[in-house]
Amino acid sequence: MAAAGANISKPGSGIYAGSGVALMLPSWLIIGLFLLIPVLLMLVYSFLTKEFRGGVIWEFSLDAYDQFFFYRGLFGDEPPVLEWTYIGIFWRSIWQAGAATIFCLIIGFPTAWFIATRSGANKSVWLFLITIPYWVNLLIRTISMKFLIRDTGPLNEWLMWIGVISEPIHMINTNFAVQLGLFYSYLPFMVLPIYASVERYNFALSEAAADLYASRWETLRLIILPAVKPGVIAGCILVFVPSLGAFLAPDLLGGAKTFMIGSLIEEQFKGNAGNWPFGAAASMILLSMVLVALGYYARQQNREA
Amino acid sequence: MVSDQHVNDVAIDIRSVSKLFGDFVALDNVSVGILDNEFFTLLGPSGCGKTTLLRTIAGFEDVSSGEIVLYGENIAGLPPNQRPVNTVFQQYALFPHMNVTQNVKFGLLRQGVDEATATRRVNEVLDLVQLTPFATRLPSQMSGGQQQRVALARALAPNPKVLLLDEPLSALDLKLRQAVRLELQQLQSDTGITFVFVTHDQEEALTMSDRIAVINNGQLQQVGSAEEIYEAPKNKFVANFIGETNLIDVNVTSVSDGKASCSLPGGMAFSCSAADGAITGDGHLSIRPERVTLVSPAKGILRGTVTRQIYLGTDMHVDVQLEDKGLVKVRVQNSSSMRIPPVGDEVGLNLEADAARLLVD
């Protein structure tokens, strides 16, 4: 493109932009020390041999990946067949995380819209209310949720008291409970980026659309959604990725039937029963899946721009 | 039979429209008829209600009371997407993720026009505003003036009965603004669409409009052609807001048939035209600085001392402090061979009787 006559001055290109290297240095240091090095460690561990009481033996091995994908019989001497257990756990995790993302989006979008369209002082109050639960530790919140929804918990008792149900609804250890936990844990990560997008949205665009005969639905679909799309996508990523690796909600609220990747990995590093290389391998598989998805999204974005 | 020519038909009849925001009265019982095929301007200082009035016509604001009748149909209750009017927004409000063609086509497609017809119409309109070479550009890749034309093309594409323009020139620089003024005027007469134009810039209003409505504090002050508003302002606000004027305290002895007799500061009797509703007693006479002439002290009907001279290129501005009270601004053309008295000199002033006007306070 770059046709002649386009009068665009890029903000941030002047002398006030500063030197890129110096500005990036602190974050590169932190990312390097606390992200890249641990990830590399995991990568290395995933190719080592397991020590039976936790830890690793420094000897190259593909056992961890082999165990993830293939079953070789009880004694490991049969011909390999595809192992579905872990792939199944991954699939269930993706499904759970996807569902949680959709629920967060359905509730989070109108919430963010509502907050962003309040007047100045009210806006801060609503944002504050959204963040209040996050002042309490996630573990404590998840345990509270467990107490709230168990068979003899306040929710069931209240429902029976007002006469909606005669017997407690069994909620704990179901997919519903996991969804509730994930939704409750990650809703603000959906609300806040969408809020930021809506706040920047120029409402004159909605007026212009209505002026040009667009219905409310068409305005939402054709004008508002494209404008707030970056916030929606950021919110979806921020909910989906941690939901995928979550272990608190599935562990405490879900039980054995709703076992997810996060719990699988956590177990490998806990106590004496663990298998570090296997946990590391599962982590690497999860990480590469997320990276592939994000890379695909980034490429789509570049193509559109 | 009625002819097809609707030249003086009323396009928009605004009937007793009021608009309240809480306790704040944005529009106070405004009634005005905007004619078909007219370049009609709503003029007033910021916060006067002119934009609110435009927005009630577009449908972005409900009226608190009153009717807005568009070619015989009361549209006051309709949502904006059901009103056959289109708007050019102050900051253009172009859809940032759509290119020029998509922006201009938007309204046509929403109206259910088929793709081929819409494309033809888009090309027509882009040609009209000379943007054909820019059809695939995004708004962010264009200058302010070009964006302004996209906004214009987008609003014109659905062929609205009335085009509403909300200070469309305010974001442009001076040179461009003057050029676009002419283009807009030309466009209006070419398309025959009724333009309702909002501005706070009196020069814009005077040079472009067929008629001007001056608004202040939510109330309609005066409606008329540029000449009527300038030459025969109705009240102090209009006289002051449009151009520069002198307000001279007078004592009015009689008013009849649009004529008034009064006595000037210093006691001289003077007769002049009077605005509808002017009354006897203490009043104000408005006279434009260029309609005051400097004469020798003995010949003037007012007397005073020159306190300031400002050189303005084509004109010279002279402040004269009256002997009794008040200051009179005088504008003298530089081309005149007349000697302009220096600061401190005593001078006489004459007022052109047909240019002086008794105002309603």
What is residue A224's three-state secondary structure? helix
User: What's chain B look like in SS3?
Assistant: CCCCCCCCCEEEEEEEEEEEECCEEEEEEEEEEEECCCEEEEECCCCCCHHHHHHHHHCCCCCCEEEEEECCEECCCCCHHHCCEEEECCCCCCCCCCCHHHHHHHHHHHCCCCHHHHHHHHHHHHHHCCCHHHCCCCHHHCCHHHHHHHHHHHHHCCCCCEEEEECCCCCCCHHHHHHHHHHHHHHHHHHCCEEEEEECCHHHHHHHCCEEEEEECCEEEEEECHHHHHHCCCEHHHHHHCCCCEEEEEEEEEEECCEEEEECCCCCEEEEEECCCCCCEEEEEEECHHHEEEECCCCCCEEEEEEEEEECCCEEEEEEEECCCCEEEEEEECCCCCCCCCCCCEEEEEECHHHCEECEC
Q: Both B182 and B155 in a single domain?
A: yes
Nearest chain B residue (CA) to A212: B107
Residue B5: inside a domain, yes or no?
Answer: no
A173 pLDDT more than 70: yes
Contact, A209 vs A223, CB < 8 A? yes
Model pLDDT for residues A127-170, shown as the tens digit of each residue? 999 888 888 888 898 898 889 988 888 888 898 989 888 888 88
Model pLDDT for residues B301-360, shown as the tens digit of each residue? 999 999 999 988 888 899 999 987 789 999 998 876 667 888 999 999 999 888 899 998
Q: For B62-87, what is the mean pLDDT? A: 94
pLDDT bucket at B9, cuts 50 / 70 / 90: confident
pLDDT bucket at A10, cuts 50 / 70 / 90: low
Q: Residue B304 maps to which CATH number?
A: 2.40.50.140
- What's the CA gap between B219 and B216, in Å, rounded? 5
From A4-13, A81-90, A109-118, B170-179, the region with the lowest mean pLDDT: A4-13
Model pLDDT for residues B215-274, shown as the tens digit of each residue? 999 999 999 999 999 999 999 999 999 989 999 999 999 998 888 999 888 888 899 999
CB pair distance less than 8 Å for A213 and B142:
no
- Structural domain harbouring B348: 244-358
ipTM for the complex shown: 0.84
The minimum CA-CA distance between B33 and chain A, rounded to whole Å, is 22
pLDDT bucket at A16, cuts 50 / 70 / 90: low
H or E element, residue A48: strand A48-50
Q: Both B212 and B278 in a single domain?
A: no
The minimum CA-CA distance between B55 and chain A, rounded to whole Å, is 10
CB pair distance less than 8 Å for A212 and B59:
no
- Structural domain harbouring A230: 28-304
CA nearest to B160, candidates B3, B12, B43: B12
Q: Both B142 and B179 in a single domain?
A: yes
Cβ neighbours of A204 in B, within 8 Å: 89, 91, 93
Model pLDDT for residues B10-33, shown as the tens digit of each residue? 999 999 999 999 999 999 999 999
- What's the CA gap between B243 and B207, in Å, rounded? 12
CA trace torsion B349, B350, B355, B356 (10° rounding): 70
Residue B236: inside a domain, yes or no?
Answer: no
Residue A35: inside a domain, yes or no?
Answer: yes
- What's the CA gap between A5 and B101, in Å, rounded? 18
Cβ neighbours of B97 in A, within 8 Å: 226-227
Nearest chain A residue (CA) to B57: A211
CA trace torsion B169, B171, B176, B181 (10° rounding): 0
In the structure encoding, which two tokens stand for residue B132, read together?
Answer: 């054909």
Q: Residue A43 maps to which CATH number?
A: 1.10.3720.10
In the structure encoding, which two tokens stand for residue B153, read together?
Answer: 């093309």
Q: Both B16 and B78 in a single domain?
A: yes
Model pLDDT for residues B145-192, shown as the tens digit of each residue? 999 999 999 999 999 999 999 999 888 888 888 888 988 999 999 899
Residue type present at position A30: I
Residue A116: inside a domain, yes or no?
Answer: yes
Write down which residue in B181, B199, B231 finishes a domain: B231
Q: Both B210 and B251 in a single domain?
A: no
Cβ neighbours of A223 in B, within 8 Å: 95
> Mean pLDDT of all residues in chain A?
87
Q: Both B254 and B126 in a single domain?
A: no
pLDDT bucket at A297, cuts 50 / 70 / 90: confident
What strands lie across the sheet with B211-216, from one edge to the other? B85-88, B162-166, B194-199, B39-43, B211-216, B219-224
From A15-19, A51-55, B120-124, the region with the lowest mean pLDDT: A15-19
Write down which residue in B201, B231, B261 finishes a domain: B231
Cβ neighbours of A227 in B, within 8 Å: 96-97
Burial label for B215, CB within 10 Å (0-12, 13-18, 19+), is: buried
Number of domains making up chain B: 2
Residue A122: inside a domain, yes or no?
Answer: yes
Q: What is the phi-psi region of residue A46: left when phi exceeds 0, alpha when psi lies from -120 to 50, beta otherwise?
A: alpha
Q: Both B150 and B176 in a single domain?
A: yes
CB pair distance less than 8 Å for A223 and B79:
no
pLDDT bucket at A74, cuts 50 / 70 / 90: confident
Residue corresponding to tokens 């016509």: B57
A301 pLDDT more than 50: yes
Q: Both B100 and B76 in a single domain?
A: yes
CA trace torsion B338, B343, B345, B348 (10° rounding): 60
Residue A305 is predicted with a pLDDT of: 58
Residue A17 is predicted with a pLDDT of: 63
Neighbouring residues of A233: CB distance < 8 A, sequence distance ≥ 6: A297
- What's the CA gap between A100 and A96, in Å, rounded? 6
Residue B198: inside a domain, yes or no?
Answer: yes
Neighbouring residues of A116: CB distance < 8 A, sequence distance ≥ 6: A123, A195, A198, A199, A201
- What's the CA gap between B302 and B347, in Å, rounded? 9
CB pair distance less than 8 Å for A7 and B91:
no
| Comparison of pLDDT for B358 and A257, the residue scoring more | B358
Contact, B165 vs B88, CB < 8 A? yes
Q: Both B172 and B313 in a single domain?
A: no
Contact, B36 vs B10, CB < 8 A? yes
Number of domains making up chain A: 1
Q: Residue B160 maps to which CATH number?
A: 3.40.50.300
Write down which residue in B231, B257, B277 finishes a domain: B231
CB pair distance less than 8 Å for B79 and A7:
no
Residue A304 is predicted with a pLDDT of: 66
Residues of B with CB under 8 A from a CB of A: 58-60, 79-82, 85-87, 89, 91, 93-97, 106-107, 110-111, 137, 140-143, 154-155, 158
CB pair distance less than 8 Å for B97 and A226:
yes
Model pLDDT for residues A36-53, shown as the tens digit of each residue? 999 999 999 999 998 887
The minimum CA-CA distance between B351 and chain A, rounded to whole Å, is 50
Cα three-residue angle A76-A82-A83, rounded to 5 degrees: 70
Residue type present at position B124: E
Q: Both B186 and B283 in a single domain?
A: no
Model pLDDT for residues A195-209, shown as the tens digit of each residue? 999 999 999 999 999
Neighbouring residues of A232: CB distance < 8 A, sequence distance ≥ 6: A105, A109, A193, A194, A197, A225
Residue A23: inside a domain, yes or no?
Answer: no
User: Going by DSSP bridges, is the β-strand pair B10-21/A56-60 parallel, antiparallel, or unpaired?
Assistant: unpaired
Residue A231, CB-side half-sphere exposure with 13 Å CA sphere? 24
Task: Select from A202, A212, A222 the Cβ nearest to the Cβ of B158.
Answer: A212
Residue B3: inside a domain, yes or no?
Answer: no
- What's the CA gap between A50 and B127, in Å, rounded? 74
From B83-92, B105-114, B296-305, the region with the lowest mean pLDDT: B296-305
- What's the CA gap between A206 and B199, in Å, rounded? 23
In the structure encoding, which two tokens stand for residue B52, read together?
Answer: 């609110």
- What's the CA gap between A251 and A163, in Å, rounded? 31
A187 pLDDT more than 60: yes
Instruction: For A274-300, give the DSSP string.
Output: --HHHHHHHHHHHHHHHHHHHHHHHHH
Nearest chain A residue (CA) to B111: A213
Model pLDDT for residues A216-235, shown as the tens digit of each residue? 999 999 999 999 999 999 99
Residue A252 is predicted with a pLDDT of: 84
Q: Both B215 and B269 in a single domain?
A: no
Q: Both B49 and B150 in a single domain?
A: yes
Residue B5 is predicted with a pLDDT of: 47
